[in-house]
Amino acid sequence: MSEAERDAAVGRAGASAGVRAFWEQAGTLGLALLIAVGIRAFAFEPFRIPSGSMFPTLLIGDHLFVNKFVYGIKIPFGEARLPGIRAPERGDIAVFTVARDGSETIPADRRPELPREEFVKRIIGLPGDLIAFRDGEVFVNGERVEAMDSGEAFEDDYGRRLEIREVALGERRFRILDDPGIGFSPEGERVVEDGRYFMLGDNRDHSKDSRDWGTVRLAEIKGPAFVLYWSWDFNGRWIELLNPTTWWRAELRWERFGASLN
């Protein structure tokens, strides 16, 4: 074999090794991507808090994971679910889907043809519960949901001073907000339909929830929020993150990283 032929053979071998290395790397990347997509679809899904309806529990710019195992993983392209660890409970912070028609929110199963959006609220009523609102307070099956004044205040993103109250709901303890300038509404009572759940925001006077647009089926509930993995005071578009100054302006809330929910 001549020197030219040997060089050509070495070149072909090198090219072949390069192709093999490329496909090995592509295969590894593809597998990693498949695992990531599978985890998001069937196990843990990220969710970003875009509004103040869950103040003071969740802040704008909080990022959390939803645990899809707890209520049972929803089988794709249908409404059936695999067996879960437990059923939704009063006091759970849950992420779910609703339908949107412009500014109007509608339970997703009522208008399946409309675009979907994800919400996060706290479950207050279970199927069959009698939920009542009287004199600015919430009653579940005739029992008042105790809300005690904490003596603390919270300032929202509009500069409003809201009073923090400590709530006891069964074994759950959490904080809600009360706007002294707004009367908690509505008055009256309603029974939660079978297979549905009544959702309420912790920022009671500044939350659009089941009081306004109705209850949510289990089929639309993705799962309970269980941990914060990121938090900062940024609520812009992701394209803005390409600007380095955005990272300097957005303050990281280190104390919230890893905070447990529910």
**DSSP summary character for residue 131:** E
Q: Does the pLDDT at position 20 exceed 60?
A: no
What confidence score (pLDDT) does residue 247 get?
66
How many residues are present in the chain? 262
Question: Could you tell me what percent of the chain has a pLDDT over 70?
Answer: 78
Strands lying side by side in the sheet with 137-140 = 143-144, 137-140, 130-134, 188-191
The one catalytic residue in 53, 207, 210, 231 is: 53
Asked if 121 is an active-site residue, the reply is yes
CA angle (89 as vertex; 120, 38 as ends), nearest 5: 60
What is the torsion angle, in degrees rounded to the nearest 10, for the CA atoms of residue 247, residue 226, residue 138 and residue 201? 30
The one catalytic residue in 74, 121, 222, 231 is: 121
Strand partners, 132: 139, 189
Task: Identify the band that residue 218 occupies on the pLDDT scale cut at 50, 70 and 90.
Answer: very high
Q: How far is CA 239 from the centre of its chain?
A: 21
Q: Does the pLDDT at position 86 exceed 70?
A: yes
d(CA 50, CA 256): 16
43-256 falls under which CATH superfamily?
Umud Fragment, subunit A (2.10.109.10)
Asked if 222 is an active-site residue, the reply is no
Q: How far apart are the first and last CA of the chain?
A: 74
What is the chain's Cα-based Rg? 25
Q: What backbone phi and psi angles, to 5 degrees, belong to 107?
A: -55, 135
Query: HEC states along 226-253?
Result: EEEEEEECCCCCHHHHHCHHHHHHCCEC
Higher local confidence (pLDDT), 139 or 6: 139
Higher local confidence (pLDDT), 35 or 121: 121
- Average of pLDDT values for 191-210? 96
Q: Does the pLDDT at position 73 exceed 90?
A: no
Domain residues of the chain, as ranges?
1-42, 43-256
DSSP-derived 3-state class of residue 260: strand
Task: Identify the band that residue 37 occupies on the pLDDT scale cut at 50, 70 and 90.
Answer: very low
Q: Which of 39-43, 76-80, 258-262 has the lowest mean pLDDT?
A: 39-43
Q: What backbone phi and psi angles, to 5 degrees, belong to 108?
A: -60, -35
d(CA 144, CA 139): 4
